[in-house]
A and B are shown apart, each in its own frame.
Chain A
Amino acid sequence: MLLGPSLTVSLILFSIGVAGVLIRRNAIIVFMCIELMLNAVNLSFIALAQQLGREGQVIVFFVMAVAAAEATVGLAIMIAIYRHKNSLNVTELNLLRG
């Protein structure tokens, strides 16, 4: 039931997310792209759960919980970075360069 289209949408969403992480410079947008990827994965979990059993749906809850935690911590870090550097441009955040 709509498995093919669901997975296709999931794949498109995931690719948009990857492209966004690779290309965009604003950390917030990179961050949103990560969320996009997570939700793409969630979508494919739900779609596949219809055929393979309910465990997939359970995992979606875990992913959402982790995503929420990640969003909290990530946004907090970003605020800290912004206060420190007045910028959220990821190309400028290169203190760990070798």
Chain B
Amino acid sequence: MIYGEWILDLLLAFPVLAALAVLLSPEAAAKRVALVGTLVEFLLSVPLWWMFDPGTAAMQFQVTHPWIPGWGIMFSLGLDGISLFMVLLTTFTMPLAVLGSWNYIKEKQRAYYALLLVLTTGMLGVFVALDLFVFYVFWEIMLIPMYFLIGVWGGPRRLYAAIKFFLFTFVGSLLMLVAILVMYSVVGRATGEYSFAYSHLLDNVGSVERWAFWLFGAFFLAFAIKVPMFPFHTWLPDAHVEAPTAGSVILAGILLKMGTYGFLRFAVPFFPGVAFHPTVQTVVVVLAVTGIIYGALVAMVQPDFKKLVAYSSISHLGFVMLGIWALSLQSVEGAIIIMISHGISTGALFFLAGMLYERAHTREIAAFGGIARVVPALAATLTIVSLSSIGLPGTNGFIGEFLVLVGSFGTFPWATVVAATGVIFAAAYLLRALQRLIYNKLDNPEHERMRDLSARELLVLVPLIVCILWIGLYPAPFLRRVEASAQALVEQIRGPEATTTPARAAEVVR
């Protein structure tokens, strides 16, 4: 198990080293160095897929180094079924993000690619941190590169969007910091051991019972903004529209997952009593379902393609929230699958939006139309990716939504039924956009000369499409690795019988 002992350290350190290499390389070679760096990072992470033991919910590949031992801060990392796929999703997305920026980013390339690599470390750190202080540090680290990515390489309103993004997230994370410090000191006083370790705080969370509501509130706000849940979502459309392509992809693909990951890892296991208090539960579920419907409806009337995809994210993440709060084995597994597949499908949609923008220099849906004849491969790809986002069975979108809904039905039948109408609206907004983008008559003669996907663009999209179909047709390997952790979470809160007894609620006959 030599691999398991250094892999997480290496995964965090390597992108920083690669970022240094990018900074030292000549401007023209920066993207190549970055591509090699992200690819190596991905290859390093691939063995995790096999090395991971799906049989246990315990943390694996754990490493702990003393960092500031006097204050009980240990640099400790680990992976379980929930974070495994977040890590793989991150390392998988980054090479594609570099490839997707290849021609789009023309200025200050060194800084751009170095920031992408630093961002990788920040995101991975969030997913593998097992010490709340370390978690908080990485949570903030990843904020800064993203701020610059939007603010420097973004669209015309980039400053507004970048500051909005930063302030929204920062407000939440400061509250979270306060909550972490309160837990640290209260638990420390009660147990005599001052430590930020996740397991220590989780085991002794009973001593913060008095403040549980406020602590949960702080965590909730931090994560709900990140998800983003209705009504904390308005930073997302702006950030997405202004961010460069790779920024949008990373934002949608990975950063949004940090919110739901935070719920799964911290907010829910720490404070189940508050999270599943009937009132809180009702509020969260109502907000989640509102997000599903609201996001879909607002997406339907967006004139800007990127904004449409941004609002669709709000809708998809609503399903994740519903799944977490329904807290059945299927719904939690489904929520994790949606987190993965939303990263893939929405990432692909943003790549395609970027490719359309590079060709026509506009994101207005109305400016396109009829290009399916000129760029058949692009049109076909866009169709497949849209269908996966719609949740067509056989694609990844269906698996997650189906599991979430089927699992949630037992807990919240009415909310689930309302949420399920989201599938109708999803079809409505994406097909409407699809029709106005690639179908209808080609009315702009300039688009006659639009070029089809290049080899590089295919290289970006084909892996994503392979994943779309793989998860859609054979999700069992994913579910198997997720199951133990999801089960542990459900059983921790619901008791062991929640996952073992088959669901059966029919009337008793005679």
Check A-B contact in the complex, CB < 8 A.
no
